[in-house]
């Protein structure tokens, strides 16, 4: 019997796996890419999993046993397997267009989240992407509305991005964090919180002290002007990256 499968190499599967893991292709786009090569629903049912990487690897192995070794060899570095800013932007865009749902986003963004003593943030090249995938989405999944996803997309799209500022803005997507941020800074300006207490707050919430806090100069300016309410409002909006 003539083999009617189109001729594909391991490079085809390696490219798709990297694109999915980094986020530049969604699961739906992967399914479109392999349409006609194999039945996605059948292989999903056969292996009882939705894991895109596993399914692509198995499909490749079914075509040629040697493809498995090629995939393992070429997808070995952290940069191949960690979500990127471009990938997160793409997934958020597809979510807001209705091409994927929140579960698809969650499945892609959090697949690597494991209970470990290791600092998972360290493997990410982008601090803000790490925060979104490792902390914000898992903890606030039920509270992230379409409006909040739109704001997250706006934050990640900013040119000349400062990852520390991006992380602060992502934390402030959550209303209770926004309120606490405002209250704590006001307390600091009024003298009821010390610089050491400010450092503890900044470290716990944002992973930085007042030396690396990018709005410290603006905070000091507000303090110089005797805690001007309008200046504090501007600072809060700036930190939240409100449009």
Q: How far apart are the first and last CA of the chain?
A: 62
Q: How confident is the model at residue 228 (pLDDT cuts 50, 70, 90)?
A: low
Q: How confident is the model at residue 160 (pLDDT cuts 50, 70, 90)?
A: confident
Q: What is the pLDDT of residue 161?
A: 75
Q: How confident is the model at residue 4 (pLDDT cuts 50, 70, 90)?
A: very low
pLDDT of 187 over the 80 cut: yes
Domain boundaries, the chain: 10-81, 85-171, 175-239
pLDDT tens across 117-134, in order?
456 666 788 999 999 999
DSSP state of 120: G
Q: What is the pLDDT of residue 35?
A: 93
Q: What is the pLDDT of residue 75?
A: 86
The 3-state secondary structure of 133-198 reads: HHHHHHHHHHHCCHHHHHHHHHHHHCCCCCHHHHHHHHHCCCHHHHHHHHHHHHHHHCCCCCHHHH
What is the Cα 91 distance to its own chain's centre?
9
Q: Average pLDDT, whole number, for the chain?
A: 89
pLDDT of 222 over the 90 cut: no
Q: Do the beta carbons of residue 60 and residue 67 sit within 8 Å? A: yes
pLDDT tens across 10-62, in order?
999 999 999 999 999 999 999 999 998 999 999 999 999 999 999 999 999 99
Q: How far apart are CA 48 and CA 50, in angstroms?
A: 7
Question: pTM, whole model, 2 decimals?
Answer: 0.90
pLDDT tens across 63-89, in order?
999 999 999 988 876 678 899 999 999
pLDDT of 3 over the 50 cut: no
Q: What is the DSSP string of 10-44?
A: HHHHHHHHHHHHHTSS-HHHHHHHHTTTS-HHHHH
Q: What is the pLDDT of residue 2?
A: 40
Q: How far apart are CA 234 and CA 27, in angstroms?
A: 40
């Amino acid at each position: 019997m003539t083999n009617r499968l189109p001729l594909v190499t391991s490079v085809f599967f390696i490219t798709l796996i990297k694109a999915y893991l980094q986020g530049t292709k969604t699961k739906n786009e992967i399914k479109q890419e392999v349409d006609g090569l194999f039945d996605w629903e059948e292989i999903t049912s056969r292996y009882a999993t939705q894991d895109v990487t596993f399914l692509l690897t198995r499909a490749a192995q079914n075509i040629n046993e040697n493809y498995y070794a090629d995939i393992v060899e070429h997808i070995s570095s952290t940069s191949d397997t960690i979500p990127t800013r471009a990938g997160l932007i793409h997934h958020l865009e597809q979510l807001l267009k209705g091409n994927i749902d929140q579960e698809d986003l969650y499945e892609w963004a959090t697949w690597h989240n494991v209970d470990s003593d290791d600092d998972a943030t360290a493997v990410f090249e982008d601090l803000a992407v790490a925060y979104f995938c490792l902390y914000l989405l898992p903890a606030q999944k039920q509270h992230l509305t379409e409006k909040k996803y739109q704001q997250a997309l706006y934050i990640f799209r900013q040119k000349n991005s400062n990852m520390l500022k991006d992380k602060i803005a992502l934390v402030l997507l959550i209303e209770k964090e926004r309120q606490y941020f405002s209250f704590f800074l006001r307390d600091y300006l009024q003298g009821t919180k010390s610089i050491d207490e400010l450092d503890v707050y900044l470290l716990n919430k944002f992973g930085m002290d007042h030396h690396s806090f990018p709005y410290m100069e603006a905070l000091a300016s507000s303090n110089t002007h005797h805690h001007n309410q309008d200046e504090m409002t501007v600072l809060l909006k700036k930190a939240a990256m409100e449009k």
